[in-house]
Amino acid sequence: MSLPTNHVDGSVPAQLRGLAAERPNDVAHRIVDGAALTFRAWEELSNALARGLAERGVVPGDRVLLPCSNTHWIDYAVAWAGVLAAGAVAVPIPRSAGVARLTAAYQASGAVGAIGAAEACAELPGGWHAEAAELAQD
């Protein structure tokens, strides 16, 4: 099925692409310690992460677990947008839920892998796990 010619792509990757073009140097995210992420960097890093996911065999519709925390918020934002750019489904869960709940969410969702800090993902069964920066390397 093709989209009508007047169709507007309202997807997160399309909105991020538009913001990166219109306001590339504006800060999209800033965390308490001062780390910041501009719209341009967010789009570039999330697209690089999407390519890294494809290299790992992630295809549209696959689920990817995203353990998130306040201390790694920028990595989470990049991972979330990258998963969506790859056409996959983000499965966010707070890292504070603990290993048992992370494992249960991983298994129940049918996730093919997980993106997050090694200490949050190392004990997950099966699949792969990687940090956002590792996947976003060109």
Task: Report pLDDT for 88.
Answer: 97
With beta carbons less than 8 A apart as the criterion, state whether 109 and 70 touch.
no
Q: In whole numbers, what is the pLDDT of the chain averaged over residues?
A: 88
64 DSSP 8-state letter = E
Q: Decide if 46 is inside a domain.
A: yes
Task: Report pLDDT for 38.
Answer: 92
Q: How many structural domains are present in the chain? A: 1
Domain span at residue 88 reads 12-135
Task: Report pLDDT for 63.
Answer: 97
pTM of the model: 0.87
Task: Report pLDDT for 1.
Answer: 46
From residue 100, alpha-carbon distances to 26, 54, 94, 107 in Å are: 39, 28, 12, 11
Q: Decide if 5 is inside a domain.
A: no
Which residue do the tokens 């992370």 mark? 102
Which tens digit of pLDDT belongs to each residue from 76-128? 999 999 999 999 999 999 988 888 999 999 999 999 999 988 777 777 887 89
The amino acid occupying position 83 is: V
